[in-house]
Amino acid sequence: MKFLTALPVHNEESHVAAVLENVRNYSDHVLVVNDGSKDGTARELSRFPWLIVVTHPTNLGYGAALRSAFEYAQAGQFDALVTIDCDGQHEPRLIPELVASLTAEVDIVSGSRYLVRHSGDSEPPLERRKINQLLTDELNSRLGLKLTDAFCGFKAYRVGILGKFDITDAGYAMPLQLWVQAVSLGLRIVEFPVPLIYLEEERSFGGALDNANFRLQHYREVLERELSRTGFPANPSGS
């Protein structure tokens, strides 16, 4: 299976070189979407002649970076796309296992930091874990899923399904759109256990999203809007 590994990147000059060197050990084709970085990220990327780089002149957001990765994977005639974050939270050695899990019966393999407990797992920031759990529970309840981690960025997709998505959220709420649309499309999803690693607990989402209450409200608004757009019933609780 010919696969592409894609990393959305914004101001990651301190991490990107080491992560890319590791990713290269497990993937022949590597794409970075440089989402408007203003630090030395572009300089670091130029050190790797084998690297494919798509550059957003301005910062468009996490969802927009993944949308660019989806588009590149389709244009490049790959069979599978792996997405992995560039902050050191994911272990590139698992890339081949995620790809191998895309069997004939599976369309999306989604990493889960909570499916099993690994020796040496980090303790996530409490408010991040709480929001993840709340939204994961809501997705499961509304969509009939059995997810344990709605927001893990470490995933493998069959490229043939990517053109079916209509991702309009450019930010960190993008996974909520993806899950709703995946269920609406009847896609087959499995989770894959990955270690829970937090290297920078104070890492910023940026702007108002750094406020946990605002972030939860925003995520719920995106979820409700996507459920309505896709034809799912309204939440009777109104939350």
What CATH number does residue 57 fall under?
3.90.550.10
Three-point CA angle 151, 41, 28, nearest 5°: 70
Q: How many percent of the chain have pLDDT more than 70? A: 91
Q: Whole-model pTM?
A: 0.92
Residue 222 lies in a domain: yes
**Res. 232: pLDDT tops 60:** yes
pLDDT score at 122: 60
Whole-number percent of the chain with pLDDT over 90: 78
Does residue 67 register a pLDDT over 80?
A: yes
Confidence of residue 236 (pLDDT cuts 50, 70, 90): low
DSSP string of 142-176?
A: HH----S-TT---EEEEHHHHTT------STTHHH
Does residue 3 register a pLDDT over 80? yes
Residue 238 lies in a domain: no
Pairing type for strands 30-35 and 52-56 reads parallel
**DSSP structural state of residue 15:** T
Tell me whether residue 223 is in a domain: yes
Q: Is residue 180 domain-resident? A: yes
Q: Say whether pLDDT at 202 is over 70.
A: no
Q: Could you tell me if residue 236 is inside a domain?
A: no
3-state secondary structure of 7: strand
Residue 121 lies in a domain: yes
Number of separate domains in the chain = 1
pLDDT of residue 2: 97
Indicate the burial class of 64 (C-beta count within 10 angstroms; 0-12, 13-18, 19 or more): buried
The pLDDT confidence band at residue 87, using thresholds 50, 70 and 90, is confident
pLDDT in tens, 128-187: 889 999 999 999 999 999 999 999 999 999 999 999 999 999 999 999 999 999 999 999
Tell me the per-residue pLDDT of 17-57, one tens digit each, with 9 for 90 and over. Answer: 999 999 999 999 999 999 999 999 999 999 999 999 999 99
For the cut 90, the answer to whether the pLDDT of residue 109 exceeds it is yes
61 inside domain:
yes
Residue 9's domain comprises: 3-230
- 235 domain residue, yes or no: no
Q: What is the pLDDT of residue 143?
A: 97
Per-residue pLDDT band at 204 (split at 50, 70, 90): low
Q: Distance (Å, rounded) from C-alpha 230 to C-alpha 200?
A: 36
Q: Indicate the pLDDT class of residue 237, thresholds 50, 70 and 90.
A: low
